[in-house]
Amino acid sequence: MNYGIEVCGVSKAYGSKQALKGVSFGVEESSMFALLGQNGAGKSTLIDILCTLRKADRGIVKIGGYTAGKQDAAICQKIGVVFQNSMLDDLLSVEENLRSRGSCYQLFHHHVQQRIDELDAMVGLRDILHQTTATLSGGQRRRVDIARALLADPNILILDEPTTGLDLSSRAQIWSMIHHLQNEKKMTVFLTTHYLEEAKQADALCVLKEGRIIAQGTPKHIRDTYAKNRLHLYSSALSQLKKQLQSIRIAYVDHIDHLDVWTSDSMHALSVLKRTEKFISGFEYESGTLDDAFLTLMEGGDCHDDMDAGETKYAAVL
């Protein structure tokens, strides 16, 4: 398996604050990888290390086969970065911005022009090329950010919260661009996002908490492993239903007209239904979402066990 990005045992501290604690993961070439985590989890530090802006205290980072800290110049040619905040010069036009950044890759005037034409076809620049950057809308600015990141024709695109603060249609536009780059241009895409519905579109994702990776895998795997499925049980004899659940040691959450039970999967839900069928008048089954998985991970820390969670809830209810 070829990896576009390899991170192995990376740690980074700022004084006494440990920002990253032995982080390891791999991003397959031409795949999309999402990094999730709350503010302060260490995402920005990790992005900075991947971009060669910071050096890890420990561990190895390889980008496109080149080792960070030793072959940074080669890495810079391989990566394109869209930072969380736009780094364009407000007073310059879009074209002037792209030309000044293009020169840093030693692209001559006609090469930059050629690249601008190619990027126009990809992200749509023609109408705004001569516009002052300060007057661009949020979506237009993001498009230019992406164009700037793609100037040197990189193989790996790193995006730090690319759609934060954008309206729905701009977000959709940016995502269609990202998919195009991954599928058509076979780029490796690494992104951080706060929008879990966006993270679902990634081939793999990992969740960072307090500088440590607490979960990684495909979105489906994360959802199936960590999201709690909800079974709403309706009954005209709620007290009897509660007694039955307590007798079979199943946790529940009390609501006015129904009880909620967390189940690991649909088979587990069926077994609960069979054991409570005499006491229920109806039920609803709700599959867990990636949002649920993320919340569980954020609340629960680095371990997850349905029974443990159930027993804790049960104890609380008792």
- 118: three-class secondary structure by DSSP: helix
Measure the CA–CA gap between 233 and 252, rounded to whole angstroms. 10
Amino acid identity of 121? Answer: A
15 sits near another protein (criterion: CB under 8 A): no
Report the residue from 33, 83, 252, 262 that binds another protein according to the rule CB under 8 A. Answer: 83
Question: Coil, helix or strand for 26?
Answer: strand
Which strands sit side by side in the sheet containing 3-14, from one edge to the other? Answer: 17-28, 3-14, 58-63, 66-67
Q: How far is the CB of 76 from another protein (least distance, A)?
A: 5
How many helices and strands, by DSSP H and E, does the chain display? 12, 14
Smallest gap from residue 174 Cβ to another protein (A): 19
Report strand pairing: 229-234 vs 204-209. unpaired
- Residue from 12, 43, 62, 101 touching another protein (CB under 8 A): that is 101
Can residue 77 be called a binding residue for another protein (CB under 8 A)?
A: yes
Tell me phi and psi for residue 170, to 5 degrees: -65, -40
Convert residues 155-194 into a mask of x (bound to another protein by CB under 8 A) and - (unbound). ----------------------------------------
9 in Cβ contact with 55 (< 8 Å): no
Is residue 89 involved in binding another protein (CB under 8 A)?
yes
Site string (122-151) toward another protein, x via CB under 8 A: --------------------------x---
For another protein, the closer CB: 134 or 248:
134
Binding residues for another protein, per CB under 8 A? 51-53, 73, 76-77, 79, 81, 83, 85, 87, 89, 91-92, 96, 99-101, 103-106, 108, 148, 152
